[in-house]
Amino acid sequence: MFPVGLYLLALVGGAVISAASLPLWRRWCEHVSLLDAPGHRKIHKHPVPLAGGLAVVTGLAVPILAVTAWVWLGPLPESFDRVVTYGLDKRGWQLAAILGGAVAMLALGIIDDRWNLSAKSKLVGQVLIALAVAASGIRVTVFVESPLFSYAVTVLWILTVTNAVNFQDNMNGLCAGLGVIGGWFFAWHAGLEGQYLVASLAFLFTGALVGFLPYNFPRGGVFLGDGGSHVVGFLLAVLAILPDFYSAASPQKWLVLAPLLVLAVPLADLVSVILIRRWLGQAVWVGDNNHFSHRLVRRGHTKPRAVLVLLLIAAAIGAATFLK
pTM of the model: 0.93
Q: What is the pLDDT of residue 86?
A: 63
pLDDT digits (tens, 9 = 90+) for 170-225: 999 999 999 999 999 999 999 988 888 899 999 999 999 999 999 999 988 999 99
pLDDT digits (tens, 9 = 90+) for 101-127: 999 999 999 999 999 999 999 999 999
Q: What is the pLDDT of residue 73?
A: 74
Write the DSSP assignment of 268-288 as a string of letters.
HHHHHHHHHHHHTT--TTS--
Is it the case that residue 247 has pLDDT exceeding 60? no
Identify which has the larger pLDDT, 41 or 311: 311
pLDDT digits (tens, 9 = 90+) for 219-240: 889 999 999 999 999 999 999 9
Average pLDDT over residues 39-47: 67
Is it the case that residue 83 has pLDDT exceeding 70? no
Average pLDDT over residues 245-272: 81
Nearest to 212 by CA among 237, 234, 229, 189: 229
Is it the case that residue 81 has pLDDT exceeding 70? no
Average pLDDT of the residues of the chain: 90
Is it the case that residue 97 has pLDDT exceeding 90? yes
Residue 142 is given by DSSP the state T
CA distance to 26, 90, 227, per residue, from 57 (Å): 14, 23, 10
CA distance to 67, 204, 209, per residue, from 184 (Å): 21, 10, 11
Identify which has the larger pLDDT, 124 or 284: 124
Average pLDDT over residues 82-98: 78
Neighbours of 73 (CB within 10 A): 8
Q: Coil, strand or helix: which one is 36?
A: strand
